[in-house]
Amino acid sequence: MPASEEICRLSATELIAGIEAGSFSPAESIEAWAGAMESDDLNAFLWKGVEGGAEQGSGHLSGLPVAIKDIFCTSGIPTTAGSRILEGYKPPYSATAVERLTEAGAGLLGKTNMDEFAMGSSNENSAYGGVSNPWDRTRVPGGSSGGSAAAVAGGLAPCALGTDTGGSIRQPAALCGIVGLKPTYGAISRFGMIAFASSLDQCGPLTRTVADAALLLEVMQGQDQRDSTSVGLEAPIELPSSTDLDGVRFGVPAELVGGDVGIEVGVREVFEQTLSRIEELGGEVAEVTLPHAAHGISAYYVLAPAEASSNLARYDGVRYGLRVEADDLVSMYERTRSEGFGPEVKRRIMLGTYALSSGYYDAYYAQAQKVRTRIAEDFTAAFQGVDFVVTPTSPTVAFPLGARTQDPLSMYLSDFCTVPMSLAGIPAISIPAGLAAPPEGGPELPVGFQIAAPAFGEQDLLEAAHALEMSIGFQRLDQREGEGA
């Protein structure tokens, strides 16, 4: 019987295969991962506990524990969205994505730390303290799904759920050296996923391998009557098996990859090496143009805060969550929201409210929507000539804790390469492509390679990512530590 340490080096698909082969039981898998979670020294988890997943034959994911970002409602289990305003809140229902995993036999493995209400790129905006990057504990894991990414990369969970509004799955996956998939908007139900920006938020997996991402996507995707924007995928997702890229065309947009967009030297080198690897596998690399993509960050930071200002109006101290008593109702609202929300959430509420206010709506919100439409049209045009669009996932490797907390613009630019895909609603995946030294010196850190596909092109996207992943042979942190590296 394999030891707990050996079980915890397996990917999700390897875990399922081991259980099916009788190498170990679902209960032994759950027990091993529960022990790993308890060793958390990254502040990756906000709630530690295990629910289900240990019963033999309860579903094809029996024995697979999944860490859940604390933005997903979980029945009877604390759900805070990383905010003091929801401290101690226990929802009476679970999110559809969580339900579908547990119905397939998966276990719930803790709730992971995150930027408050998913607003951030470093996980330093959590009301419960920042998360450390397992590759270097003095650096950020990325955000907002930083706890999920750190848990998977740090060997505390085999896979995790995250949410991606402007890059919050892909960017932390890149900084932590794992796989992160943002599906097409509408592929997975948003019911029970606490809203940040409803027209952008999407659930997705953070995993050790591309095959693991496919495994979770297939279980979670599908239409849900409780979410009018969910449409699901046309065909079931199969585990990817491609080993080459013969005849596949990859487009490189100068607007996101050009020499003047702030991509670190080391990141650019890994990106170019990956392009060469694509050609070695039989793929073709061509230039494409996305004329409006460079305006993505500007449009996003009007649209997302505008939706947030509306969505977060419900946190008023009346129905649930924090209530700070006062002499009258208006004062209670003000004190509750003042003490319950952190600085970044307040900043975005104010930005969004301003953008929607009388006299400024047309100048800001309406213009940003027009830019969003143009970006979507740019991608549609680009996909007429190529199968995929590729960029570095993040312009930089993981940066030091505290380095950007006083410079919001610098922090926002962490999502420069990921935001356009979110605005267009198309699927994109980040896979680890190599290592690069940070510009200030120090040990090498992971670099992510982003592949984007046309809407609902998840199967083709996973096949291409799998072929590239197999060729790169990136050694994850848990693999390095297992060899005593």
How far, rounded to the nearest angstrom, does the alpha carbon of residue 74 sit from its chain's CA centroid? Answer: 18
The whole-angstrom separation of Cα 45 and Cα 157 is 11
Question: CA 222, CA 191: separation in Å to the nearest integer?
Answer: 12
Q: What are phi and psi of 93, to 5 degrees?
A: -150, 170
Q: Which positions are annotated as active-site residues?
A: 69, 144, 168
- DSSP-assigned states of every residue in 93-148: S--HHHHHHHHTTPEEEEEE--SGGG--SSS---TT----BTTBTTB---SSSHHH
Secondary structure (3-state) at 178: coil
Helix axis angle, 210-220 to 96-103, nearest 10°: 100
Residue 198 CB neighbours (<10 A): 15
Strand stretches in 214-253, DSSP E: 249-253
Write the DSSP assignment of 349-410 as a string of letters.
Answer: HHHHHHHHSTTTIIIIIIHHHHHHHHHHHHHHHHTTT-SEEEEESSSSSPPBTTSSTT-HHH
Phi, psi of 149 (to 5 degrees): -65, -45
DSSP three-state, residue 429: strand
- Please report which helix (H) or strand (E) contains residue 20, including its range: helix 12-20
Cα–Cα distance, 354 to 344 (Å, whole number): 15
332: helix, strand or coil: helix
Q: Residues 219, 239: contact at Cβ < 8 Å?
A: no
State how far the Cα of 402 lies from the Cα of 411, in Å rounded to an integer. 11
Sort strands 65-69 and 159-164 into parallel, antiparallel or unpaired. parallel
